[in-house]
Structure 1
Amino acid sequence: MQALKTQEEIDAASRDWRDLPGFADVHDYWQSLRRGNDLPRAEDVDLLALIPWLPELSLLDMAAPGEIICRFAGTAIAERLGHDITGRNICLQQSVAMRDRARKAYEKMAQQPCGMLARYTNHYNTGFQGTVCTFYLPLIVTANGSTRLLGTGNREEKADYAPPIEESIIATDVTSVTWLDIGFGTPEKEG
């Protein structure tokens, strides 16, 4: 039996993604890069145009199934995690229990394509457990036709404390996944 959600949890889950700091701005920038109905190309993204949102920005490359390489992680992300995840396989930074679910969600964004708003809890090396909301949009990497994901995050509220750990773990629990139709529909099931 699933526990009843608090009003705060219901309110947080139902908030429109455009109300979260920076999400609408990053979406509007992404939208400005589209050529007709095509996805924006990764090579067209100018990080200097995103300076106000750089601390929470990430770029992830879909290298292979289960191999999603972080090409860029902003300073706020590195500060939260206690280390820089640039160059690392993001799947290996996630809790073992969530890796398959996360991998499938990233793959759905590439295959559909669609945007995704994910709310999840991180377990930081300090023992702090905090909720983060990340908004992802797909980009085309033209050299090989693979997909890169442009993400922007927003730290929401603290969740709890646990014993300190050696290295922070991303997504020990996923609160919600909301798909965003960017012109190609959305997956039938959540990731």
Structure 2
Amino acid sequence: MLESFEPFLAYWQALRGSEELPCREDFHPVKVKDFMGRIVIVERLSTSHFQVRLVGTEIVERLGHDHTGEDFLSLLDGPEERAGRLALFNAMLDQPMGMWGKREVITDKGTYMAFFLQLPIRHKASHAGEFFNVFDFDQNLVMLSGVKFKRFGKLVGFGLIDIGAGVPEAYSDLEIRTLAH
């Protein structure tokens, strides 16, 4: 599943060089133009609030709304799902690691799948405070004309990417891919 994200992953790797994480200020959209419409940048404002900073144009079209400035967790299905993702997002930034997987996208006309790659980035200070969320989908936009987004549904499958800092023990039972530094 990560194959479709390989060019973005390679760019992220090149940006970080010998550092643990790349700096968002070094990110140049033109270098990953094929992904720009499908990127969401999320910033951790506190351990309980993850604010959407940027939403790509394809995502806006799919969701029918630009969620910039909103709490990223509010797009998820139910309090239990939100609590689980909150813990995982904090872990992803506290002990920097990536995540990949697939999730249901629930619309007024049915459900389709979103594949995603999440990679932490540094912002302003020298710590992980944001992450890229890059999407791919099993339905193209033409097929979804007139469909209204309701919410993200269940996380159907996911794994972690060890980018050099290891993976928290609480998530060691998941599939883990190691990214060479």
Shorter-normalised TM range: 0.7 to 0.9
Retained in 2: the 8 A contact 1:109–1:115?
yes
Partner of 1:110: 93
2:159 matches 1:175: no
Counterpart of 2:52 (choices 59, 62, 70) is: 70
Equivalent residue letter for 1:107: N
CA distance in 1, matches of 2:159, 2:167: 9
Retained in 2: the 8 A contact 1:59–1:72?
yes
CA distance in 1, matches of 2:20, 2:82: 29
1:189–1:118 CA distance, 2 compared to 1 (3 A): farther
1:29–1:123 CA distance, 2 compared to 1 (3 A): same
Counterpart of 1:81 (choices 63, 76, 95) is: 63
How many Å apart are 1:128 and its aligned residue? 2.3
Question: Mapping of 1:12-91 within 5 angstroms?
Answer: 15=1, 17=2, 19=3, 21=4, 23-91=5-73
TM-score normalized by structure 1?
A: 0.78
Partner of 1:162: none
Retained in 2: the 8 A contact 1:82–1:168?
no
Please identify, of 96-105 and 136-145, the stretch whose mean Cα deviation from structure 2 is larger. 136-145
Give the gaps of 5 or more residues in structure 1: 1-14, 159-164
Retained in 1: the 8 A contact 2:64–2:148?
no
Partner of 2:144: none
Question: Mapping of 1:141-156 within 5 angstroms?
Answer: 141-143=123-125, 145-156=127-138
How many Å apart are 1:43 and its aligned residue? 1.2
Of all paired residues, the percent bearing the same amino acid is: 22
CA RMSD of aligned residues (A): 2.2
TM-score normalized by structure 2?
A: 0.82
CA distance in 2, matches of 1:28, 1:46: 14
Please identify, of 72-81 and 107-116, the stretch whose mean Cα deviation from structure 2 is larger. 72-81
2:168 matches 1:187: yes
Retained in 2: the 8 A contact 1:122–1:169?
yes
Secondary structure of the 2:40 match is: strand
1:176–1:111 CA distance, 2 compared to 1 (3 A): same
2:81 matches 1:98: yes
Equivalent residue letter for 2:135: G
How many Å apart are 1:156 and its aligned residue? 2.4
CA distance in 2, matches of 1:151, 1:82: 18
Secondary structure of the 1:106 match is: helix
Give the gaps of 5 or more residues in structure 2: 141-146, 175-181
CA distance in 2, matches of 1:169, 1:32: 34
1:51–1:120 CA distance, 2 compared to 1 (3 A): same
Deviation sequence 1:37-88 (CA, Å, 0-9, x none)? 3211111111222211111111110111221111111122112212111111
Retained in 1: the 8 A contact 2:99–2:161?
yes
Q: Please list every run of at least 4 consecutive aligned residues from structure 1 whose deviation after the TM superposition is greater than 6 angstroms.
A: none
